[in-house]
Amino acid sequence: MTQTAHGVEFSRQLSANPKSAEERAAILANPGFGNHFTDHTAIVDYSVDENGKGGWHNPRVEAYGPISLDPSAAVLHYGQEIFEGLKAYRHADGSVWTFRPEANAARLNKSARRLALPELPAEYFLGAIRELVTVDKEWVPDGDGESLYLRPFMIATEAFLGVRAAREVSFRVIASPAGNYFGGELKPVSIWISREYARAGRGGTGAAKCGGNYAASLIAQQEAEANGCKQVLFLDQFNDNAVEELGGMNVFFVMKDGSLATPALTGTILEGVTRMSVIQVAKDMGREVAERKITLDEWRDGVASGEITEVFACGTAAVITPIGVLKDATEFIGSEDAKAGETTMAIRERLLGIQTGTSPDTHGWLTRL
Ligand code: PMP
């Protein structure tokens, strides 16, 4: 048994067959994204007792491996599932840190409320991450731009086919060593406009991080890839084609006067932890940041007139990525040989500097694991 700094005790049943140091080194030499997993997983279970009282119990670390689920488990039928994504970074002195985990814990609970899943006390969220990273510390890469991607998720495990909120739930964290999300050097990416498919609608689950949103976005992502684009842009067709977000990232615009603009949180887009950090970092750099409605017309006209000088996407996996081109059958905005903009790069450097320990953490965003 281990007492974590967050006060939750996780029991440990360590893997009988962890990867050898050689196997691990081979994986860490070229981790890619989402391909390989560490030797362990952290788990906390939830159930509702006969008096209707729910509680979290049995926090533990076990060997990574398949989950045994009843075929009638609610998650398999009604998609009652939510998840998070954050990273652990190895600093030059070997210490391992994570970035704003309390923001991910809060967003998980926001998602939980929307999906009628139980909220998880933050000490379990942070405790699970700390325990897993402590046990699998050797898996945190130290290369430039590399990190250990952490994937907390919560699933409805109750064996019951009635349509209601499940009374048995499991929270887990898995970890995957990660290189550069888009691979190779930082080049501006091309983005495809999704006209036919929406990711979210008013009153729906767009502001929650639930698996169903991503399932619904895959057909648009396939269309994007078939047209040579890395990601898809979703618009609100019922609101003047207001820009929402990409399949897995938020969007920012840099204006001629040096200010920034990003779509306001309307309930249909995900509030990215990177988005909130970019807003703060830009303000620290003396920039004004507007959270407002930005339409496709403004994007097109602004790039043409020079009012918009840079566009970039941001999220945990890719950090900050310049957008070179936005297109579909009828639009072509930007240029194939666009270079990463100065403001985009300055914000990226500042944010990466904080995460990797080379710039001062003035906002107290880092937690040591
Ligand atoms: N939007 C969507 C739809 C996402 O999946 C993500 C990735 N979690 C983001 C935005 C960016 O969020 P974050 O900065 O917290 O990674």
pLDDT tens profile 29-73: 998 889 999 999 999 999 999 999 999 999 999 999 999 999 999
Check whether 133 has a pLDDT greater than 60: yes
181 pLDDT tier (thresholds 50, 70, 90): low
Question: ipTM, 2 decimals?
Answer: 0.99
Residue type, 43: I
* Residue that is written with structure tokens 């999300």 in the block: 181
pLDDT in tens, 64-90: 999 999 999 999 999 999 999 999 999
Return the H-helix or E-strand segment holding 213: helix 211-226
Give me 272's structure tokens: 């990215």
Query: Residue 151's beta-bridge partner residues?
Result: 174
The separation between the first and the last C-alpha atoms of the chain, rounded to the nearest angstrom, is 18
Task: State the DSSP code for 40.
Answer: E
Q: Span 339-368, mean pLDDT?
A: 93
Check whether 148 has a pLDDT greater than 80: yes
Closest atom of ligand 1 to CA, residue 217: 3
**What pLDDT was estimated at residue 54?**
95
Nearest CA to ligand 1 atom 2: 248
Closest atom of ligand 1 to CA, residue 103: 15
Closest atom of ligand 1 to CA, residue 277: 14
- 319 CA → ligand 1 middle, Å: 10
CB neighbourhood size of 127 (10 A)? 24
If you average pLDDT over every residue of the chain, what do you get? 94
Beta-carbon contacts of residue 168 (< 8 Å; ≥ 6 apart): 45, 46, 47, 48, 156, 157, 158, 159
**Whole-angstrom distance, CA of residue 125 vs CA of residue 62:** 16
- 315 CA → ligand 1 middle, Å: 5
- 321 CA → ligand 1 middle, Å: 13
Which one of 316, 348, 354 would you pick to mutate in the ligand 1 pocket, going by the greatest count of ligand atoms within 8 A of its CB?
316
Task: State the DSSP code for 86.
Answer: E
Pocket of ligand 1, beta carbon within 6 A: 85, 245, 248-250, 270, 272-275, 315-316
**Whole-angstrom distance, CA of residue 258 vs CA of residue 254:** 6
Of 96, 94, 127, 124, nearest in space to 109 by CA: 124
CA distances from 190 to 180, 222, 300, 316, 323 (A): 17, 14, 15, 19, 6
**Whole-angstrom distance, CA of residue 363 vs CA of residue 344:** 20
CA distances from 362 to 120, 190, 359 (A): 28, 34, 9
- 250 CA → ligand 1 middle, Å: 6
The CB-side HSE value for 344 (13 A sphere, CA atoms) comes to: 25
pLDDT in tens, 299-347: 999 999 999 999 999 999 888 999 999 999 999 999 888 888 999 999 9
**What pLDDT was estimated at residue 3?**
45
Of 102, 95, 99, 96, nearest in space to 123 by CA: 102
Check whether 137 has a pLDDT greater than 60: yes
Residues in the chain: 369
Give me 201's structure tokens: 């609608």
Check whether 184 has a pLDDT greater than 80: no
**What pLDDT was estimated at residue 2?**
43
SS3 content of the chain, % helix, strand, coil (to 5): 25, 30, 40
Return the H-helix or E-strand segment holding 350: helix 342-356
Closest atom of ligand 1 to CA, residue 275: 14
Query: Residue 262's beta-bridge partner residues?
Result: 291
How does DSSP assign 267-282, residue by residue?
SSS---HHHHHHHHHH
CB neighbourhood size of 311 (10 A)? 25
Name the pTM for this structure. 0.94
**Whole-angstrom distance, CA of residue 10 vs CA of residue 4:** 8
pLDDT in tens, 204-263: 999 999 999 999 999 999 999 999 999 999 999 999 999 999 999 999 999 999 999 999
